Amino acid sequence: MPLATTPVLLSLLAFGTGMLVGVRSATAVRRRRAARAAPAPPAAVLVGGQAGCAARGASRRPPGRALAGSRPSHPGGSGACQRPARLRVGVLGPITINARSGGLQPTQSQLLVALALQGGTGVANHQLCRLLGADQDHPRASDSLRQLIARTRRQLGRAPDGGQWIEHLGGGRYALHRSARLDWGEFNELAARGLATGDAVLLSAAMSLVRGQPLADCWYWWLDLGLAEAMRVRIVEVATTLAELELAGCDPAGAARTVRAGLLADPAAEQLWRQLMRAEHAAGNLSGVREAWAQCLSAIADIAADGQPEQATSSLHRDLIGYGGSAAPERHLTVFPDGRGLTDNMLRRQRPRRWHWANR
């Protein structure tokens, strides 16, 4: 090809390249305009800048499975955290409302405890005024009681069926909703079934409700002390029976846990201390037996009439720490001619010659 034609070819190539660039630029402009004119995807409205990530994650998730950190939507539409539709009053330990000790004001908690302990029969208006007063001679005013009930209702929210947690039964009587729960009632139901059938599962479920001494730190003037004592007696009975079943089933660790839960309710129950020593001995833990014995002595020192444990507890302790599991040797007193008296333990600390001479 002649060299004279080379500038012409270069001009043609430059012109073609310019046309191609122009076509691509126009195409890109049209695409950007179309993207701006298109409506935003619905996911962008819900989750903002994370819409793309959520969409990509949804394409990889199996149907019906939500993101690990996502929250289910509520019918209310606001997305705010809804209160759980439940009411549970706890008295097997410090007073709690829905497992919280400070969620309500003290007078509100007292109102719910009074209604819960009365059951479904309800409490009359004038009786509530008397119970919630400073003392028996200074009842609460009726208007103040109605305001207290209204505030408590608002704070508790609605029951599952849409009703109020504090219901007005008519005739000036109030009661808790039938869906409300009292841990003492649940404990009694499980205990009755478990004791009647010897079912360790039911008894264990009952003991799991115990959090400490019944009605601990509860100083309501109207509270019957006999009720707290009845709760402690029932808890000790269930704990003792369950520990026996667990020891019979070769589960000393479970028996020890059960007994310790019972001792939270009644630290002076010697039958539980005896069960704890048996459980530690069954586990081969003689140091645990000695520790349980020391704790038992400390617990009953200010309660027992003479400050000493029962004979059954002392005998069991001697049996368990004896040699080879048999009864421990009794302490004998050896009297010497000079009037000195030494026990067997003291004699063992003497020289071997004196030991042999003293035991001739």
Q: Which of 192, 214, 185, 31 is nearest to 120 (CA)?
A: 185
Instruction: Looking at the structure, tell me whether residues 288 and 165 fall in a common domain.
Output: no
Classify 18 as helix, strand or coil.
Answer: helix
Neighbour-count burial for 101-137, b at 16+ CB within 10 Å, e otherwise: eeebeeebbbbbbbbbbbeeebbebebbbbbbbeeee
**Residue (of 235, 243, 297) closest to 268 by Cα position:** 297
| Average pLDDT rounded to a whole number, residues 71-87 | 47
Cα 249 to Cα 88: distance, rounded to the nearest angstrom: 34
The model's pLDDT over 19-29, given as tens digits with 9 standing for 90+, comes to: 554 545 556 55
- % of the chain residues with pLDDT over 90: 56
pLDDT at position 10, please? Answer: 54
**Residue 226 and residue 195: Cα distance in Å, rounded?**
22
In a domain, 192, yes or no: yes
**How much is the pLDDT for 46?**
30
The confidence band for 351, taking pLDDT boundaries of 50, 70 and 90, is very low
Q: Is the pLDDT of residue 358 over 90?
A: no
Separation CA 355–CA 238 (nearest Å): 50
Predicted local confidence at residue 99, as pLDDT = 87
Tell whether 172 is covered by a domain.
yes
CATH number at residue 247: 1.25.40.10
The single-letter code of the amino acid at 80 is A
pLDDT for the residue 327: 37
Number of domains into which the chain is organized: 3
**What's the whole-number mean pLDDT along residues 244-254?**
96
CA distance 54 to 68: 12
Q: Are both 355 and 261 inside the same structural domain?
A: no
Angle between helices 270-282 and 286-300 (to 10 degrees): 170
Residue with tokens 């586990």, as numbered in its chain: 283
Distance in angstroms (rounded) separating the CA atoms of residues 206 and 192: 10
Point out the least confidently predicted range of 15-29, 67-81, 242-256.
Answer: 67-81
Q: Are residues 288 and 348 in the same domain?
A: no
Higher-confidence residue of 162 and 358: namely: 162
Same domain, 207 and 140: no
**Residue 16 — very low, low, confident or very high, per pLDDT cuts 50/70/90?**
low
- pLDDT given at position 325: 40
Compute φ and ψ for 97, nearest 5 degrees: -120, 115
CB-neighbour burial class of residue 320 (10 A; exposed 0-12, middle 13-18, buried 19+): buried
Banded pLDDT at 66 (limits 50, 70, 90) = very low
The answer to whether 222 and 131 have CB atoms below 8 angstroms apart is: yes
Residue whose C-alpha is closest to residue 177's, from 114, 100, 119, 128? 119
Give the number of residues written for the chain: 360
Distances 289 to 236, 266, 273, 281 between C-alpha atoms, Å: 20, 19, 10, 6
**Domain range holding 255?**
183-325
Whether residues 211 and 250 share a domain: the answer is yes
Instruction: Give the residue with greater pLDDT, 346 vs 192.
Output: 192
Cα–Cα distance for residue pair 280/293, rounded to 1 Å:
11
Tell which wins on pLDDT, 6 or 268. 268
For residues 37-46, give the mean pLDDT: 40
**195 and 98, same structural domain?**
no
297 lies in a domain?
Answer: yes
The residues, any chain, with a CB within 8 Å of residue 65's CB and separated by 6 or more, are none
Does 157 share its domain with 217?
no
211 inside domain: yes
Q: Which of 179, 212, 236 is the last residue of a domain?
A: 179
* SS3 (DSSP) at 88: strand
Q: Which residue has the higher pLDDT, 235 or 118?
A: 235
**Cα 279 from Cα 267, distance rounded (Å):** 17
pLDDT of residue 2 exceeding 60 = no
Same domain, 300 and 335: no
pLDDT surpasses 60 at 251: yes
State residue 121's pLDDT score.
85
| Same domain flag for 268 and 354 | no
Q: Is the pLDDT confidence value at 109 over 90? A: yes
- According to the model, what pLDDT value does residue 161 have? 92
pLDDT at 105: 92
**Taking 70 as the threshold, does the pLDDT of residue 117 lie above it?**
yes
Looking at residue 174, which CATH number applies to its domain?
1.10.10.10
